[in-house]
Amino acid sequence: MKKSILRSKIIQIFIKHKLSRKHSEICADYLIKAELVEAKSHGLTRLKMYCDRIKKKLINPRPNIKIKKISSSISYINADNSIGFVSSDIGVSQAIKNAKKTGIGLVAIKKSGHFGLSSFYAEQAVKKNLIVFCFTNAPPALAPYGARKSLFGTNPICFGAPTGKVPFILDTSTSIINRGKIRHAHKFGKKIPYGVALNKFGQITTNAKEALKGSQLPIANFKGSGLAWMVDILSGVLTGSSHGGKTKDPFDDFSGPQNVGHLFITIDPKIFIGKKYIKEIKKNIRLVKKLPKAKGFSSILYPGERKNKLYKKNLNRDISVPKKILTEMDELNVV
Amino acid sequence: MKKSILRSKIIQIFIKHKLSRKHSEICADYLIKAELVEAKSHGLTRLKMYCDRIKKKLINPRPNIKIKKISSSISYINADNSIGFVSSDIGVSQAIKNAKKTGIGLVAIKKSGHFGLSSFYAEQAVKKNLIVFCFTNAPPALAPYGARKSLFGTNPICFGAPTGKVPFILDTSTSIINRGKIRHAHKFGKKIPYGVALNKFGQITTNAKEALKGSQLPIANFKGSGLAWMVDILSGVLTGSSHGGKTKDPFDDFSGPQNVGHLFITIDPKIFIGKKYIKEIKKNIRLVKKLPKAKGFSSILYPGERKNKLYKKNLNRDISVPKKILTEMDELNVV
């Protein structure tokens, strides 16, 4: 489907679900961007879920998002149960403003929801020449080290830095694979790789449905478990949002709003070494790229380069929309 | 050896190497603390290395450490090639002051050296009721994803948070095991586990010496590689220190000072939710601890608990010092 047509359709669907035009456009753009970087698990496959939650009054289509100024560097946002895209779009803008003013910005968001890919927010800060951390929590998916039941989300660690060229953007879940990929496999009847998830009895499974009911495995055992716990504290506890396994699964749990929390930290990379920063980061990347390559590698990519290539490749192409989602979209459009 | 005697001996050695009494005490306390938490790779085994570098004028025993105030939140420290312990002790104190004043602190240190365990600095901030990140770079040890040669250090990610009880302190290298453990194995003729390191030909090795000449493997392939790269940017590029594989190995490379960089970020956890923070973090930990346990686990520990238990266990015991190190200490004491 032509991107412009798809965009109009999504906007129309969100407007039918009572979002303002502006908020509908924000949501459509983030969903389409996920498709363009081929992160399908964070794209159109979630559209119905967002609409379902609006219908059930678990997402507020007309949120009164309040920004509380704590200091010139620090802001606290009450998202009023908006779609995560909307509050985070506002949140990262505020974090950018704060760092531009003072060298460092810190923005916490409470009462939000799933915000898509962390990297999209990081990218905005990096394009304004800032270093950035984005943290968000997510519904239970990972068993803490020593437990046999899920509690942490796949809690990504997202970090961005300007390079003078394509943004350096690391966006890595603390699970071996991200939950969206398992959902995607489930939706389309595919298997998941061996060794990334357990069933509810604690046994390794390649069945996506069983994995969703069981738990995913963290990277590097207690290390990944610790990193996921760190993200739960930063985005859940610190922000006054849900934490400790209380973040509701947006697909399965309709007992209340998700109350997801996000935290953005922005740093002006020129505060310490001035304009030399760009020279040094370019040198850094050059030094890594010229290393002798491992077997099977013709080049070394930094985090963010692969997604950027996909984005450019797909930018002027039509977006392929699976039949199942086309049907969903038609149904959502007659609500 | 009695702790007090050991402490006096170390102080004496550092004073003989021209450190001030105050700096000698700081260094002795960090080294002993590493022994108490049984992180032997960061303890007495490094004493000779520090002294060797002082003798070769690569560590400055009488540094003129300058703190530049960028703002009430941000400080920039020139460590003047001090031992890492000294500048980082000053650095974390400054980061604590800044966050106490403004809610958030950011301190960069350049021209420093190996600072021991990141967790010791994190602990100081947590004991002052702050959330904290500590980043430091390190000499080449890890091959970036796609390369067959080391470039990144084992670059730990260290995060701390107050819990009202034992500090939550995650201190995790981005390598599968930390380099100190390999050095320790090498020093005492032991093997390293299978699958954590490669020899210089890119083959898996359990020989510590070969591993030190080859490269260590990052956790979770490109994820760990990306996290190590992030730490290199934060502690190396941003701070104006060495980066991109240019941090000198303190044991092997006497061609110049290490120029290690450190970065501390401190956050007052009460800025968003006030006193409720402690209630919520306690709830968070309670929720995780009461999960059903995995096979072989009788309890779930949070990061920092294990080290804290070791510290308490060893606090009033004598410290066992291997003969090899006793000999080294005797030699260092007659310099």
Quick check: B46 pLDDT over 90? yes
User: Any idea what DSSP says for residue B37?
Assistant: T
Amino acid code (one letter) for A315: L
Please give the Cα distance from A91 to A115 (Å, whole number).
11
pLDDT 10s digits, B216-246: 989 998 999 999 999 999 999 999 999 999 9
Return all residues near B225 (Cβ < 8 A) that are at least 6 apart: B142, B143, B144, B145, B146, B152, B174, B218
How many contacts, defined by CB atoms under 8 Å, are there between A and B?
A: 219
The answer on A196 and A121 residing in a single domain is no
Is A324 part of a structural domain of the chain? no
The answer on A122 and A206 residing in a single domain is no
Is A23 part of a structural domain of the chain? no
The answer on A104 and A201 residing in a single domain is no
Beta strands across the sheet bearing A104-112: A66-69, A74-78, A104-112, A260-267, A131-136, A157-161, A168-172
Is A132 part of the contact surface with chain B (CB cutoff 8 Å)? no
The answer on A248 and A123 residing in a single domain is yes
Is A309 part of a structural domain of the chain? no
Is A212 part of the contact surface with chain B (CB cutoff 8 Å)? no
State the CATH number of the domain containing residue B62: 3.30.1370.60
Is A156 part of a structural domain of the chain? yes
Is B56 part of a structural domain of the chain? yes
The answer on A101 and A131 residing in a single domain is yes
**Chain B residues whose beta carbon lies within 8 Å of the beta carbon of residue A286:** 244
Is A297 part of the contact surface with chain B (CB cutoff 8 Å)? yes
Sign for the pseudo-dihedral over CA of A22, A24, A29, A30: positive
pLDDT 10s digits, A102-142: 999 999 999 999 999 999 999 999 999 999 999 999 999 99
Phi, psi (5° rounding) for residue A142? Answer: -110, 135
Instruction: Kindly report the pTM of this predicted structure.
Output: 0.96
Indicate the range of A77-86, A91-100, A270-279, B39-48 predicted with least confidence: B39-48
What confidence score (pLDDT) does residue A335 get? 66
The answer on A213 and A260 residing in a single domain is no
The answer on A194 and A132 residing in a single domain is no
The answer on A190 and A228 residing in a single domain is no
What confidence score (pLDDT) does residue A250 get? 94
pLDDT 10s digits, B88-98: 999 999 999 99
Q: How far is CA A38 from CA A107, A179, B305, in A?
A: 29, 15, 41
Contact B157 A227 (CB under 8 A): yes
Is B202 part of a structural domain of the chain? no
Is B187 part of a structural domain of the chain? no
Is B319 part of the contact surface with chain A (CB cutoff 8 Å)? no
Phi, psi (5° rounding) for residue A184? Answer: -60, -45
Residues B189 and B179: beta-carbon distance below 8 Å = no
Is B292 part of the contact surface with chain A (CB cutoff 8 Å)? yes
Q: Give the rounded distance of the alpha carbon of B147 from its chain centre.
A: 26
The answer on A234 and A124 residing in a single domain is yes
> What domain count does chain A have?
2
ipTM: 0.95
Helix A323-333 to helix A3-16 angle (10° resolution) is 40
User: Any idea what DSSP says for residue A46?
Assistant: G
Is A229 part of a structural domain of the chain? yes
Nearest to B22 by CA among B65, B58, B53, B52: B65
Nearest to B107 by CA among B120, B92, B122: B92
Q: Which residue of B has its CA nearest to A288?
A: B244
Phi, psi (5° rounding) for residue A89? Answer: -60, -45
The answer on A262 and A195 residing in a single domain is no
State the CATH number of the domain containing residue A211: 3.30.60.50
The answer on A251 and A169 residing in a single domain is yes
Q: Which domain holds residue A204?
A: 178-217
Nearest to A139 by CA among A118, A124, A123, A153: A153
The answer on A158 and A93 residing in a single domain is yes
